[in-house]
Amino acid sequence: MSVSDPISDFLTRIRNALMAGQQVVSIPSSKLKLAICKILQEEGFIDGFEEAQQPEKVQRTIRIKLKYVGERRERRPVISGLKRVSKPGRRVYVGRSDVPWVQSGLGVAILTTPKGVMTGIRARQLGIGGEVLCEVW
């Protein structure tokens, strides 16, 4: 099945797995998704991820281990929100002075810049802008 917006599909799969209380979610792999997973792990939103090849399929997959806090009954996901900002129908680009703050600094904006995929804080430090892919908090 063809997906018109793979990043939105990526975020939706994570959101659905969190709402269902799953420990691990599998997602079709790409370089951009791997870069986003790396940022989510560095920022402490997920426990880890690995790229795996399933023997019956050609497409590689990413297995993301989701992170929760609290005891068994009061367990809540670390990620409380995911939002796709730039969409195929409406791309959102920002300059270096317009890089967004997410939830007053509690969340992160993930940007794709000429120097690679990075958080909004890192882009602000480097003084560059780019396309705002998503916001996570």
State pLDDT tens for residues 76-98. 999 999 999 999 999 999 999 99
The closest alpha carbon to 102, from 22, 45, 27, belongs to 45
Cβ atoms < 10 Å from Cβ of 43 = 15
The structural domains of the chain, ordered by start, are: 6-136 (3.30.1490.10)
What length does the chain have? 137
The predicted model gives 35-59 an average pLDDT of 92
Q: Identity (one letter) of the amino acid at 51?
A: E
Q: With cut-offs at 50, 70 and 90, classify the pLDDT of residue 55.
A: confident
Q: With 60 as the cut, is the pLDDT of residue 1 above it?
A: no
Q: List the Cα angle 64/66/71 in 5-degree steps.
A: 160
The stretch 3-21 carries a mean pLDDT of: 95
Residue 100's CB is within 10 A of a number of other CB atoms, namely 15
Q: For a pLDDT cut of 70, what percent of the chain falls above it?
A: 99
* Cα distances (angstroms) measured from residue 108 to each of 45, 56, 111: 10, 36, 10
**Residues facing 137 on adjacent strands:** none
Contacts of 23 (CB under 8 A, 6+ apart): 65, 66
Looking at every residue in the chain, the average pLDDT score rounds to 94
Does pTM top 0.85 for this prediction?
yes
What's residue 2's pLDDT? 65
Separation CA 78–CA 100 (nearest Å): 21
pLDDT, tens digit (0-9, with 9 covering 90-100), for 63-78: 999 999 998 888 999 9
